[in-house]
C-alpha cells in the first residue's frame, strides 16, 4: 500500500471513530485520537540555508533539527517568499505574493495590521475544517489601525485574521514595544505604569543608546540606538510598562512554555500551531545556560538554544501521544546575516561556519541565500524519510495544508503541493517569483533570472551582496549554485522567455 492510500485509510478510520463516538456518546470513545492530523509550523527568524547540520553545517550542533530533517522530507529547493521577515510571513499566512500588498515590507512596532480581516488566511482555512488555531512567537505583521493604545485591548491582530489563540511579540526582538501580547492584551501590564511607544521621537528624560552608551550591555553598530531595554538599545522609543517588559534571555523558555501549554490544552481536538521562534535574529540573547555552547558567540549559541527548544517541544508531542498524528513543517523567514546592527561577535567568531552554505548573498538579497532556506516536513510514521529537490515555496503551504485538513479553498498565489510536502511526488513548482526588499526575480526550472536593478550591489553595513546589477542576470542553479557565472548573454532566448513569464505573473 502506498503512503497516500495509508493516509486516506487512516483518515477514514479516524472519521469512523468520530462517527462511532458520536453515536455511542460514551466518555471512553470521546478520548479517541482526533481524525485529522495536527499541524505545526516551526518558523525560524533569519536561519540560513547552511545553519544546520542536515544542510551541511559541520561547525554547529543542531541534533534535533537534523534528526527531524533527516527523518522527514528535506527540501533542497525550499523558499521563503522574501528575503525579509514581514513579507515572508505575509505570504505564509495569506498564500498571496507579498509584493501585491504595498505595505508588506519590514514594519515598525507601531504599524497597523497589514492583513485584511476579510482576507482568507491559513489559520482561517484550517479553522473552517475544525482546527483550533494558535500562534506563539514573532508576529511582525502590524497590529491595530495605526493608532494603537498599548494600554487597551489591541485589535485587529492575529485573533482577527484566524487565530483562536495568540501569544506574540509585536514586531521583532530589536523593536519596541518589548512586551508580550496575549490575545490582544499586553501581558503583565500595570495600569499605573502605562506604555507609550513612538518611532519618531523620544520621550523626555528617557535614556537612549545614542546618548547613554554607559547604560548598554550590548553595543549598537548601525541603527538600534533608541530606547534601552535590559541594557540593549532598540529601534523605536518606549516609555513605561516596566512590569510587562520581557526578559530577553528568558524569551526562548517563555515561548516554549506557551507552545507546550497550547499543545497540552488542545490535544483533544485537531490543532494548528504556528510557532515562530525569535532566533537567530538580533539581538541574540541566549539564556546563560547556552552561553558559549557553540564556540561561535551569541549567534551560534542561540541556534543551539533553538535546537534545544525544538527538542523539548517534540518531547511534549511525544509525551502527549501526538507525535504520530502531527505534521511538522520547519522553515525560516529569510536567509542569514551576521552583523545586523549590534556588536555581538557574529563575524569575529564565525570560524569556518558558513551560514548560507554554498549560496551567494544573505538576508536582504535577491541572490539565493536571501530566500532559499532550510525547509523540511516531518510526520512520524507517515512521511518516508528522503531528500527532495522539488521547487517548493512557503506560499504554497496555505493551500496544501488546507487540503490535508479537508479544504478545497486556495490562497491567491498558493497552489496545492500537498503530495510534494508529504514526499509522495517530486513535481514541485515550475516557476516562482522571489522578492528582496521590494525587488523581484524569477526562478524557473533550474534557472533564476534577476532583472536589472538600480542601486548599490552590496549593503555595506551588513556586508551582503543584494543582487543589484544594471544588467540582467541569469544563473543555472543546477551547475552554479553559488551564482558565479552570469549566462544572460549566452542564453538570450531563455532570458526573454523568463522576462515574459515575469511580466505575466507580476504585471510589472
Based on the shown chain and the rule CB under 5 A, indicate whether residue 327 belongs to the binding site for Ca ion. no
User: Which among 412, 478, 490, 425 has a CA at the least distance from the CA of 97?
Assistant: 412
Task: Give the nearest distance from C-beta 365 to Ca ion in angstroms.
Answer: 13
* Rounded distance between C-alpha atoms, residue 288 and residue 277, angstroms: 18
Q: Which residues contact 23 (CB under 8 A, 6 or more apart)?
A: none
Contact region with Ca ion (CB under 5 A), list: 78-86, 313-321, 407-415, 426-434: 78-86
Measured from the CB atom, the residue of 73 and 277 that comes closer to Ca ion is 277
Measured from the CB atom, the residue of 73 and 282 that comes closer to ligand NG6 is 282
Choose among Ca ion, ligand NG6, none what residue 174 binds, the Cβ cut-off being 5 to 8 Å by kind. Answer: ligand NG6
Separation in Å, CA 450 to CA 34, 111, 290, 440, 470? 46, 30, 40, 7, 10
Number of residue whose CB is nearest ligand NG6? 223
What are the cell numbers at 121? Answer: 488566511
Task: Give the nearest distance from C-beta 47 to Ca ion in angstroms.
Answer: 9
Type and span of the H or E element at 67: helix 63-71
E strand segments, 80-231: 132-138, 165-169, 180-182, 185-186, 196-198, 219-220, 228-229
Number of residue whose CB is nearest Ca ion? 85
Choose among Ca ion, ligand NG6, none what residue 282 binds, the Cβ cut-off being 5 to 8 Å by kind. Answer: ligand NG6
What are the cell numbers at 442? Answer: 524569477
Task: Give the nearest distance from C-beta 281 to Ca ion in angstroms.
Answer: 5
Near Ca ion by CB under 5 A: residue from 51, 305, 333, 368: 333
DSSP string, 114-153: -S-TTS--HHHHHHHTT-EEEEEEE--S--TTS---TTS-
Q: Which residues bind ligand NG6 (CB under 6 A)?
A: 45-46, 84-85, 106, 140, 172, 174, 222-224, 235, 281-282, 334, 340-341
Measured from the CB atom, the residue of 69 and 338 that comes closer to ligand NG6 is 338
How many residues are there in the chain?
Answer: 508
Residues 29-48 that bind Ca ion (CB under 5 A): 45-46
Task: Give the nearest distance from C-beta 224 to ligand NG6 in angstroms.
Answer: 6
* Angle (nearest 5°) at CA 432 between 386 and 68: 25
Measured from the CB atom, the residue of 154 and 282 that comes closer to ligand NG6 is 282
Distance from first CA to last CA of the chain, Å, rounded?
47
Task: Give the nearest distance from C-beta 362 to ligand NG6 in angstroms.
Answer: 11
Task: Give the nearest distance from C-beta 41 to Ca ion in angstroms.
Answer: 15
Task: Give the nearest distance from C-beta 139 to ligand NG6 in angstroms.
Answer: 11
Measured from the CB atom, the residue of 148 and 225 that comes closer to ligand NG6 is 225
Summarize as ranges the residues that interact with Ca ion (CB under 5 A): 45-46, 85, 333-334
Amino acid at each position: 500500500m502506498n503512503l497516500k492510500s495509508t493516509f486516506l485509510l487512516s483518515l477514514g478510520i479516524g472519521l469512523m471513530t468520530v462517527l462511532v463516538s458520536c453515536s455511542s456518546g460514551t466518555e471512553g470513545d470521546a478520548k479517541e485520537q482526533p481524525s485529522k492530523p495536527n499541524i505545526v509550523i516551526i518558523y525560524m527568524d533569519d536561519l540560513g540555508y547552511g545553519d544546520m547540520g542536515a544542510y551541511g553545517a559541520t561547525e554547529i550542533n543542531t541534533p534535533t533539527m537534523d534528526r527531524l530533517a533527516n527523518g522527514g522530507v528535506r527540501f533542497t529547493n525550499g523558499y521563503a517568499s522574501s528575503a525579509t521577515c514581514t513579507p515572508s510571513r505575509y505570504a505564509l499566512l495569506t498564500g498571496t505574493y507579498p509584493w501585491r500588498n504595498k505595505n508588506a515590507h519590514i514594519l515598525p512596532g507601531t504599524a497597523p495590521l497589514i492583513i485584511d480581516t476579510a482576507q482568507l488566511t491559513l489559520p482561517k482555512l484550517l479553522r473552517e475544517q475544525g482546527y483550533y488555531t494558535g500562534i506563539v512567537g514573532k508576529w511582525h505583521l502590524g497590529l491595530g489601525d495605526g493608532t494603537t493604545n498599548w494600554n487597551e485591548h489591541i485589535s485587529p491582530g492575529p485573533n482577527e485574521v484566524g487565530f483562536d489563540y495568540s501569544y506574540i511579540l509585536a514586531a521583532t526582538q530589536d523593536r519596541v514595544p518589548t512586551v508580550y501580547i496575549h490575545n490582544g492584551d499586553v501581558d503583565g501590564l500595570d495600569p499605573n505604569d502605562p506604555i507609550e511607544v513612538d518611532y519618531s521621537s523620544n520621550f523626555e528624560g528617557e535614556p537612549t543608546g545614542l546618548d547613554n552608551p554607559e547604560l548598554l550591555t550590548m553595543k549598537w553598530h548601525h541603527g538600534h540606538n533608541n530606547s534601552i531595554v535590559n541594557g540593549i538599545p532598540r529601534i523605536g522609543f518606549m516609555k513605561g510598562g516596566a512590569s510587562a517588559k520581557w526578559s530577553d534571555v528568558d524569551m526562548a523558555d517563555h515561548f516554549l512554555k506557551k507552545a507546550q501549554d497550547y499543545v497540552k490544552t488542545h490535544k483533544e481536538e485537531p490543532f494548528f500551531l504556528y510557532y515562530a521562534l525569535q532566533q537567530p535574529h538580533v539581538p541574540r540573547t541566549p539564556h546563560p545556560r547556552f552561553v558559549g555552547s557553540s564556540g561561535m558567540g551569541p549567534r551560534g549559541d542561540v541556534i543551539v538554544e533553538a535546537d534545544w527548544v525544538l527538542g523539548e517541544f517534540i518531547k511534549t508531542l511525544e509525551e502527549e501521544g501526538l507525535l504520530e498524528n502531527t505534521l511538522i513543517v520547519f522553515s525560516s523567514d529569510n536567509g542569514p546575516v551576521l552583523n545586523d546592527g549590534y556588536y555581538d561577535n557574529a563575524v569575529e567568531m564565525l570560524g569556518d561556519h558558513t551560514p548560507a552554505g554554498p549560496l551567494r548573498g544573505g538576508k536582504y538579497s535577491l541572490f539565493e541565500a536571501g530566500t532559499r532556506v532550510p525547509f523540511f516536513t516531518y510526520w512520524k510514521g507517515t512521511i518516508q524519510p528522503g531528500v527532495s529537490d522539488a521547487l517548493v515555496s512557503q506560499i504554497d503551504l496555505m493551500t496544501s495544508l488546507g487540503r490535508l485538513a479537508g479544504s478545497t479553498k486556495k490562497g491567491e498565489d498558493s497552489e496545492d503541493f500537498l503530495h510534494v510536502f508529504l514526499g509522495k511526488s517530486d513535481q514541485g513548482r515550475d516557476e516562482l517569483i522571489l522578492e528582496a526588499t521590494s525587488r523581484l526575480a524569477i526562478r524557473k526550472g533550474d534557472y533564476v533570472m534577476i532583472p536589472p536593478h538600480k542601486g548599490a550591489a552590496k549593503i555595506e553595513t551588513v556586508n551582503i551582496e543584494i543582487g543589484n546589477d544594471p544588467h540582467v542576470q541569469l544563473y543555472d542553479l543546477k551547475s552554479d549554485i553559488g551564482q558565479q557565472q552570469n549566462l544572460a548573454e549566452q542564453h538570450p532566448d531563455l532570458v526573454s522567455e523568463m522576462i515574459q513569464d515575469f511580466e505575466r505573473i507580476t504585471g510589472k
